[in-house]
Amino acid sequence: MSGKDSILDLFYRLVEVQAPSGFEEPMMRAFIDEIKLYVDEVHGTPRGNVIAIQKGSDPTAPKVALVSHLDQIGFIVFNIDTAGFIRFRKIGGSVTRAIQGQHLQILTEKGPIVGVVGMKPGHITTPAEANTIPPIEEMYIDIGARSREEALAMGVMNGTPITYTTSPLKLANGLIASPSVDDRAGCAALITIAKRFANKRPKATVYYIGSVEEEIGLRGAETCLHDINVDMAVAIDTFPAGFQPDVNMRDLFYEIGRGAGLHVGEQGDRVRIQSQQVHRWLRRTAEAHNIPHQIGIMSGGTDAMTLMQTRGGIPACTIGIPRRYSHSPVEVFAPSDLENLIEIVANAIMDLESDFDTTRPGVG
């Protein structure tokens, strides 16, 4: 990241990197290349997580881990039929209704092979079929091959990862539509914060961590803090926003363009509460610096819930960038929310004093 780079320049560069869950190596390399100029040490782990360390000016100050995931949703080749059509399955939670008719790229060892997700001609589609979303087991990718042998010769084989080929678009009012906003935006935030502290170090030592396999079960985060002596952690991710015609505010009340989301907890099959000490630290910073933010319970899950279960328990919470159309190739976000998130986290760390206590009241 050069001095003239904007946050969007960095984001666009990261979006170009294709790294679905389990195949993050290209993003591991990109993350290291971008952040290594601003930290004292950076290394990868056998599990695949990338850890960059930026030493603070006061060894007694709390040590903070900032975690964003390197992976993205995608697909994987499941089988190739005799006519050369590719059967595939999901890696992560891609929205099924968004898949048909899309351009995809199969990331072979010989290079990417582009294809399209085919569909039955509209002229012979029944009304019932026209209003039904087929399961992914019935979908197929057309790469132009005429046989299974030709597809294999092109480098396509079972187990090859696949991603969308959609490119970012600039919408009105400064909004951006793009694949992989989740979590290229979070990775861009980590790198930008590291750059900000490169020449003016906070008291706290900061660990910038790119985790792997978040989209398939928060798997990288399960191990990323085991060998690191940190006092608290913040997961920086994106999260679903509402305020669109087919979403009720009852279900999703966050809105893009209204600031970063400071989550009290996360809701999946149940509500799970995050560290309120870390949450209040971020919230007080946002309030003190008058930085736009939103407070609530997000839908979904982030690395924070796994980070909290590391060793004896690491106090952790999530701060995020709201996005529309989650887990589709056209996730929409407001760059101002990303910028506000960076301001909150950077100011919170810069203001952190050695006497900050992450212990829950009544303990100790």
Q: For 110-138, what is each residue's pLDDT tens digit?
A: 999 999 999 888 888 888 888 888 999 99
Burial class (CB in 10 A: 0-12, 13-18, 19+), 202: buried
Number of H helices, E strands in the chain: 8, 18
Report which of 123, 38, 34, 140 is spatially closest to residue 82, judged by C-alpha positions: 140
| Percentage of the residues of the chain whose pLDDT score is greater than 90 | 77
pLDDT digits (tens, 9 = 90+) for 18-28: 999 999 999 99
Q: At what angle do helices 181-197 and 25-35 cross, to 10 degrees?
A: 20
Q: Check residue 146 and give its pLDDT.
A: 96
pLDDT digits (tens, 9 = 90+) for 251-267: 788 999 999 999 998 88
pLDDT digits (tens, 9 = 90+) for 155-168: 999 999 999 999 99
Residue range 272-292: mean pLDDT, rounded: 94
Identify the DSSP state of 12: H
Report which of 246, 275, 243 is spatially closest to residue 262, judged by C-alpha positions: 275
Q: Band of the pLDDT at 2, cuts 50, 70, 90?
A: low
Q: Band of the pLDDT at 364, cuts 50, 70, 90?
A: low
Q: Check residue 272 and give its pLDDT.
A: 87
Q: Band of the pLDDT at 362, cuts 50, 70, 90?
A: low
Residue range 170-182: mean pLDDT, rounded: 96
Question: 298 or 151, which is more confident?
Answer: 151
Q: Check residue 1 and give its pLDDT.
A: 59
Query: Is the per-residue pLDDT at 180 higher than 70?
Result: yes
Annotated active-site residue in 24, 34, 213, 214: 214
Q: Band of the pLDDT at 220, cuts 50, 70, 90?
A: confident
Residue range 326-352: mean pLDDT, rounded: 96
Q: Is 56 helix (H, G, I), strand (E, B) or coil?
A: coil
Query: Is the per-residue pLDDT at 201 higher than 70?
Result: yes
Q: Band of the pLDDT at 363, cuts 50, 70, 90?
A: low
Beta bridge partners of 108: 111
Answer positive or negative: Cα dihedral of 357, 359, 360, 361.
negative
Q: Is 182 helix (H, G, I), strand (E, B) or coil?
A: helix
Distance between start and end Cα atoms, the chain: 43
Identify the DSSP state of 146: S
Predicted TM-score (pTM) of this structure:
0.94
Q: What does the mean pLDDT of the chain come to?
A: 93
Q: Check residue 270 and give its pLDDT.
A: 83
Look-up: residue for tokens 């290291």? 32
Q: What residue spans of 136-206 are helical by DSSP H?
A: 148-153, 181-197
Q: Is 339 a catalytic residue?
A: no
